[in-house]
Structures are given as C-alpha cells and as structure tokens.
C-alpha cells in the first residue's frame, strides 16, 4: 500500500515497540468480562502488524504477557494462554500470506507446553518471510532479562571465554534476549499510562515515546501512522547537541 502522503519514507522507525495496555479496562467499561477485552486486543494486533507492513517497519515488538502477569487469577492466565495458542493457530496462514516473520522473547519455557509447541511451529513456518518481524514478548520482564544476561556474562567469564575488562554496553546487549534485533526507535503505549512497566528497559534507553489516550482494543492503523508522524517531528540527538 502507498504511504500516507505526510509520512516521509526516509524516516520510518526501523523498530517499533508497543505496550498493549487496557484490554481489561476496555471490557470492564462495557460491562464485559476481561477476557473479551483480550480477544478484541488480538484483533488490534492484526491491525498494528498490517500498518507496520504498510510503512516498511522492519521490527515490531509487542508486550503480550509479562512475568508479573503470572500473578493474575489462574482462570484469567489459563484463558490468556488458550487465547495465545488460538491466535497463533488462526494467524499462521495470514502471517505467511502477508510475509510476516514471527519471533519471541522472554522466559518461554514458563509457557504451557502446547503454547511452546505452537509458538515454535509458527516461528519455523515463517522463518523465511522477509516482511516485518513481529516479536512477541511472552513471560517477559526486563529486569529478569538483565539478570539472565548477567548470568550469561558470568558463565562466559568463569569459563574463560570472556575477560571481565572486555565487558562493554555492546557486549551486554549481545547477552540479552533481543541480541538479534536492533533497539527500538519508537515506543508506543496505549491507555494513557506513563510508565515502562518493566519492558525493554535497556533497549529503550533512547527510544522516542508516544502515549495514546485509548485502550489497546481501540487501536487502529491510523494510530500507528500518527505515532510515526509524531516520531518524525522529533530530533534524535542521543545526548549530543
């Protein structure tokens, strides 16, 4: 699809990260159970991926399930895992048709075995696709990621593969879950909340942030376009003048 006329093709963020917030509150506001909000949120994911493909965004990371989310009621967690598995099964043919490559980050072994198997099946089936790479953050927490990265570094040092004097920010980045992906250029959060919620704390050090005053199920392609317009108005100095 052609770009909206007022979006510059030479300044598209390479990597967009999204905190998809507000599914439960969206459902509650309409007198529905929270899971209905999560189902509607899955539809918003499809719209977001389509918009990124339209613009030529290379990477899209979606905060789908945090390590803290395991503390929710068991019935809601079980429903979310069922929804995740169903989403993957239903969307696989679409991902293949739309040239979307699927990846995932987080403590994935915490997921139910059936979810892990479906996730790996979709990752394998889309591995040769060359459009936007959709990265699902599942059982993900940034502090946990950094701790896992430190453990990996310590193992490398103790085994003699790495000298502690050689540890730099670039080396640390290579031990994080996101080592195969560039840092996000743009971070979008829905629901109007003004916090990172333990999401990509290291990687978003210099990301431009856009806060949307709407719940995730109401997210439309135009919201992605407008966020990119806002991004293109910013001056990214990375600490310089």
CATH of 11-141+182-232, one of 3.40.50.970, 3.40.1180.10, 3.90.79.10, 1.10.3720.10: 3.40.1180.10
Which position among 21, 23, 185, 223 bears the catalytic label? 21
Q: What is the pLDDT of residue 236?
A: 82
Rounded CA separation 21/169 (Å): 30
Which parts of the chain sit beneath pLDDT 70? 1-2, 241
Q: What is the pLDDT of residue 3?
A: 75
Tokens 């339209």, located at residue = 54
Q: For 145, how many CA atoms within 13 A lie in the half-sphere containing its CB?
A: 25
Rounded CA separation 204/17 (Å): 9
Rounded CA separation 7/5 (Å): 6
Which residues, in sequence order, are bridge partners of residue 135? Answer: 61, 103
pLDDT in tens, 91-114: 999 999 999 999 999 999 999 999
The pTM score is 0.95
Rounded CA separation 9/172 (Å): 32
Residue 26's closest CA among 231, 209, 215? 215
**Residue 50: other Cβ atoms inside 10 A:** 17
Which position among 53, 69, 156, 198 bears the catalytic label? 69
Q: What is the pLDDT of residue 176?
A: 98
Active site residue 69: yes
């Amino acid at each position: 699809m052609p770009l909206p006329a007022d979006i510059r093709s030479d300044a598209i963020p390479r990597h967009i990260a999204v905190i998809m917030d507000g599914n439960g509150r969206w459902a509650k506001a309409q007198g529905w159970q929270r899971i209905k909000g999560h189902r509607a949120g899955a539809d918003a994911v499809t719209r977001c991926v389509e918009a990124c493909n339209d613009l030529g965004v290379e990477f899209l990371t979606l905060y789908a399930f945090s390590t803290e989310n395991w503390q929710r009621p068991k019935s809601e967690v079980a429903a979310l895992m069922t929804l995740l598995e169903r989403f993957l099964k239903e969307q696989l043919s679409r991902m293949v048709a739309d040239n979307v490559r699927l990846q995932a980050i987080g403590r994935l072994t915490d997921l139910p075995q059936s979810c892990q198997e479906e996730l790996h099946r979709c990752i394998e089936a889309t591995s040769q696709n060359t459009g936007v790479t959709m990265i699902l953050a599942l059982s993900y927490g940034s502090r946990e990621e950094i701790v896992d990265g430190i453990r990996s570094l310590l193992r490398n040092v103790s085994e003699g593969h790495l000298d502690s004097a050689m540890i730099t920010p670039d080396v640390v980045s290579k031990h994080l879950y996101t080592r195969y992906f560039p840092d996000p250029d743009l971070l979008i959060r829905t629901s109007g909340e003004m916090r990172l919620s333990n999401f990509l704390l290291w990687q978003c050090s210099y990301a431009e942030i856009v806060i949307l005053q709407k719940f995730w199920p109401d997210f439309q392609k135009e919201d992605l376009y407008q966020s990119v317009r806002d991004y293109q108005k910013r001056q990214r100095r990375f600490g310089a003048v």
